[in-house]
Amino acid sequence: MKILLADDDPVSRRLMERMLQRGGYEVITVENGREAARELTAAGGPRLALIDWMMPELDGPAVCREVRSRIDGAYVYILLLTSKQSSEDIVKGLQAEADDYLTKPCHPAELKARLHTGRRILQLEDKLVEAREDMRFKATHDALTSLWDRGAILALLRSELSRSKREHSSVSVLLCDIDHFKQVNDVHGHQVGDEVLEEVSTRLLDAVRPYDAVGRYGGEEFLIVLNGCSAEDLEVRAEQARKAICGRVFSTSDGSILVSMSIGAITIQDWDKTDAIQPFLKEADEALYRAKAAGRNRVICANTLVA
């Protein structure tokens, strides 16, 4: 594990560096507080730090305050090295948001124990961050397909419409429905139905650009948000999505089956944030209905360019 050692005294710095290296740490050394703050706030910087209290440019407490002022990045566990032993000085260091302190000269066993505590706290913090991100993902993504869920894809659509208004661009929406999906479930079983939904999700993601968005709108329906897609490009982009589904067979646990998709599409331009999005989704849904009525496995674009 990387650890930053900041000390302006070369002799003390070298002795401490050797001690840390014997403990298995990858040691990064700096001579002043400004360099320490730069290293600790850099992307991928050390997450453990031993900072001498008295240093040029920034002292130890000032380094702590600068590191803590970041609004992003992983947590850094900071131990202050000090010859100060008064309660007032210790309180001052801790109030600067240092995590711990060591009195110089350090006893190797005490240093090892305190660094072990720091590593344990960082591991716990990582687990909390992982749990938080997992909860956030589950709150916004469909459990089966891992696509955006209905609420999240609609929120994302609103966000992209607001951005397109500022940039004087357009957003196109594809409302997609798997043809005869009930028959897939009835003939092959719900497990195969789930396999089809997962494969459809993968193919739709592959058919769009990385900055487009695909969500599960409900059941066998999917909503695709195409950023910056004009009315002139809409049919081509929608056809790419349709052909991604019907272009090759689906391999399932019950054998190979053919799947197709019908799509209703609409382009929205100059959207006002006070407008509801439901009328536009209704137009896409009506276009989807016409695609189904016309024989399925096709794209119908709504006639209206919303402006």
Residue 220 annotated in active site? yes
Catalytic residue among 220, 221, 283, 286: 220
Residue 127 CA to residue 44 CA, distance in Å, equals 18
3-state SS, residue 281: helix
Residue 48's nearest CA partner among 124, 96, 115 is 115
Tokens for 265, please give them. 């599409």
Strand order in the sheet with 2-6: 26-30, 2-6, 48-52, 77-82, 100-103
Please tell me the distance from the alpha carbon of residue 4 to that of residue 15, in angstroms, as a whole number: 14
Beta bridge partners of 50: 5, 79
Q: Quick check: 208 and 224 in contact, CB under 8 A?
A: yes
Residue among 6, 170, 142, 16 at smallest CA distance from 80: 6
Please classify residue 237 by burial: count the beta carbons closer than 10 Å to its beta carbon, then call 0-12 exposed, 13-18 middle and 19+ buried: buried
3-state DSSP call for residue 55?
Answer: coil
Q: How many angstroms separate the CA atoms of 206 and 157, rounded?
A: 19
Residues acting as catalytic residues:
220
